[in-house]
């Protein structure tokens, strides 16, 4: 099962959707490119027991 989460780009502040793979583990770190400014954004995604997603966004330096 896949899901999407809306996040804010740390560079340009625009919202974009990241694709979540809920089968890839409870705790995931990956890098996506912002759809607006195309800069790399590091996403730290965790799922709690009820399946809710907690997403932290950082600049990928
Ligand atoms: Zn951006």
Residues with CB under 5 A from ligand 1 (ion): 9, 11-12, 34, 36-37
Measured in angstroms, how far is the CA atom of residue 25 from the centroid of ligand 1?
Answer: 26
pLDDT tens column, 29-55: 999 999 999 999 999 999 888 888 899
Q: From ligand 1's centre to the CA of 41, what distance in Å?
A: 8
SS3 47: strand
Q: Using the mean position of ligand 1's atoms as its centre, give its distance from the Cα of residue 18 in Å.
A: 13
Q: How far is the CA of 58 from the centre of ligand 1 (A)?
A: 11
Burial class (CB in 10 A: 0-12, 13-18, 19+), 23: exposed
Q: Please tell me the pTM assigned to this model.
A: 0.81
């Amino acid at each position: 099962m896949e899901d999407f989460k809306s996040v804010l780009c740390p560079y340009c502040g625009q919202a974009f959707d990241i694709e979540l793979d809920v089968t890839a583990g409870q705790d995931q770190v990956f890098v996506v490119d912002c759809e607006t400014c195309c800069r790399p954004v590091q996403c730290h995604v965790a799922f709690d027991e009820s399946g809710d997603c907690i997403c932290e966004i950082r600049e990928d330096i």
